[in-house]
Chains A and B, each alone.
Chain A
């Protein structure tokens, strides 16, 4: 099926496309990748934690002794099977403090990290929409006789 130029301009086409993209993203995000191995869990958890003794490295990549010990502790806790990934991360956070988290929490003051970009995006969209509307209004504004005369004069001179 071909979408003609006029059809693309119709808002319903865009709405349908947005719904399809949204559905595909939702399916992709919620898709179950199957059960994970213990090593996959250890890797996933250690990627969420910052090395306590080095700057800008995760526990997963760091070779510092504190990170090595942390990876071993995570492996022990994963191996015991009594704690979920979030509980293990919370255990480490309770010991080392919030600065050990590479992914900010979604509660408290840290939630601003997630909320502010969304708020900024919404503000920007609202600003753009209002600006576009204003430009549209000024583009379709009536031309006054003085303006018409001015244009005519310029054309005559040309």
Chain B
């Protein structure tokens, strides 16, 4: 009799656990935001010291005081090519802004020649940063391109957008960040 009661108790406990797990799964919703998570958000941006395609020195620490947008790019990646017109639009809009954000392309696993040829064909006169050995990509935890990051004027990482940009997303997010942290 007591054995039967024990078995019933175990069955009930198992059922409760299973129902609990089911409820957790049913209530779990995927993150609807287009912004990706990163342990770097809210942290000081990793140091970047490199050269641009036109052989000028670049040091991210010296860009404090401006909003900085880093776009990790590869000329053979289709989403990177797809979002390029949006970046051209963004750069044109920011050029007219009073506190304009600085846009930089970070070359990811690509040759100088290929990137130069791409920008010559499709436009975009903002600086392109070399990433020797992929160290900039690793310091930002980039696994796949394209990725777009926004760094505030104090040098803190504020936003990561993983994947292809959608129309108006970058402008919208930067505007929200400006009102929160600007």
- Give chain B's interface residue range (CB within 8 Å of chain A): 10 to 19
Q: Which residues of B contact A52 (CB under 8 A)?
A: 141, 143
- Scoring A65, A76, A92 by chain B CB atoms within 10 A of each residue's CB, the highest score goes to A65
Q: A53-B143, A66-B143, A73-B138 are in contact. Are A94 and B40 (CB under 8 A)?
A: yes
Q: Is B37 a contact of A95 with CB atoms below 8 Å?
A: no
Closest CB-CB distance, A11 to chain B, in whole Å?
29
Q: Is A53 a contact of B144 with CB atoms below 8 Å?
A: yes
Chain B, range 116-162, C-beta contacts under 8 Å to A: 133-135, 137-144
> Does residue A96 face the partner (Cβ distance < 8 Å to B)?
yes
Q: Is B133 a contact of A95 with CB atoms below 8 Å?
A: no
**Interface residues of A: mostly helix, strand, loop or mixed?**
helix
Q: Which residues of B contact A97 (CB under 8 A)?
A: 37-39, 141
> Does residue A87 face the partner (Cβ distance < 8 Å to B)?
no
Q: Is A73 a contact of B134 with CB atoms below 8 Å?
A: yes
Q: Is B138 a contact of A95 with CB atoms below 8 Å?
A: yes
CA gap between A92 and B141 in the complex, in Å: 8
Q: Which residues of A contact B140 (CB under 8 A)?
A: 95
Binary interface encoding of chain A residues 71-114 relative to chain B, with 1 for a CB under 8 A from any of its CBs, else 0: 01100100000000000000011111100000000000000000
Which residue in chain B gives the minimum CB-CB distance to A98?
Answer: B39
> Does residue A69 face the partner (Cβ distance < 8 Å to B)?
yes
List 20 extra interface pairs beyond A53-B143, A92-B138, CB under 8 A.
Answer: A52-B141, A65-B134, A66-B142, A66-B143, A69-B133, A69-B138, A70-B138, A72-B134, A73-B138, A76-B135, A94-B39, A94-B40, A95-B39, A95-B40, A95-B138, A95-B141, A96-B143, A97-B37, A97-B38, A97-B39
Which residue in chain B gives the minimum CB-CB distance to A70?
Answer: B138
Closest CB-CB distance, B10 to chain A, in whole Å?
11
Chain B, range 60-104, C-beta contacts under 8 Å to A: none
Q: Which residues of B contact A95 (CB under 8 A)?
A: 39-40, 46, 138-141
Q: Which residues of A contact B134 (CB under 8 A)?
A: 65-66, 68-69, 72-73
Binary interface encoding of chain B residues 28-46 relative to chain A, with 1 for a CB under 8 A from any of its CBs, else 0: 0000000001111000001
Q: Which residues of B contact A94 (CB under 8 A)?
A: 39-40
* Interface CB pairs A-B, < 8 A, 11: A52-B143, A65-B134, A66-B142, A69-B134, A76-B133, A95-B40, A95-B46, A95-B138, A95-B139, A95-B140, A96-B141
Closest 7 CB pairs of A and B: A69-B134, A95-B141, A52-B143, A96-B141, A65-B109, A73-B138, A53-B143
Which residue in chain A gives the minimum CB-CB distance to B139?
Answer: A95
Closest CB-CB distance, B34 to chain A, in whole Å?
18
Closest CB-CB distance, B26 to chain A, in whole Å?
21
CA gap between A92 and B140 in the complex, in Å: 10
CA gap between A94 and B141 in the complex, in Å: 8
CA gap between A142 and B35 in the complex, in Å: 74
Q: A95-B39, A95-B40, A97-B38 are in contact. Are A72 and B133 (CB under 8 A)?
A: yes
CA gap between A76 and B144 in the complex, in Å: 22
Q: Which residues of A contact B46 (CB under 8 A)?
A: 95
